[in-house]
Amino acid sequence: MPDASRTQAALTTATPTCPSPVPAGDTGAAILAQAQKWIGLAYQYGGGDQNGPTVGTNSNGSGNPGFDCSGLTVWAVHQATNGKVLLPRTAATQFQDRRWRHVPYDQLQVGDLVFWPGSSGTPSAPSHVGIYAGDQRFFNAPFTGAKLRFDSMAPGTYRYQTFIAGARITG
């Protein structure tokens, strides 16, 4: 019994590894909640759309469905808004979508889309997008060979240094 009590106490006082979503009913929290359902799923270049993961161009060779960064955001936003908002397919076109207000790093809120030039993009046409999770972290489908995960964008990190802007999704 003492071992069980210590185990229970340790589990209930441990800090969660995933950010806690903000209150229910908030679009941003809903976007993050939808996306993080897929934590650990394999990245697939060209994978995913508003209906869920797809094989895409099968970049990891598994033949299994997955998401790339923008496929994940398309799906999460579509689900979080009950199908009312369908984002364009690529990170660049999502960033350029004039329906959403761009926000700087210090004004990010949970669920904001966050953008970087990536390996083949530019500040005006980024090639990587994720979802801000709070606490200087974001959820994303990072690259071929990786799984969907949380990453840091804290000051001093590469993601902080190359951050372009966020986009606040409303709807």
Any idea which residues carry the catalytic annotation? 69, 128, 140
**Pairing verdict, β 149-152 and 113-116:** unpaired
Q: Would you tell me the crossing angle of helices 27-36 and 69-80 to the nearest 10 degrees? A: 130
C-alpha angle with apex 154: 123 to 152, nearest 5 degrees? 85
Structure tokens at 55: 């094989």
Q: Which residues contact 135 (CB under 8 A, 6 or more apart)?
A: 19
Phi-psi region of 135 (alpha: psi -120 to 50; beta: other; left: phi over 0): left
Amino acid symbol at 98: R
> Which tokens hold the place of 119?
């390996």
Nearest to 159, CA basis, from 114, 122, 104:
114
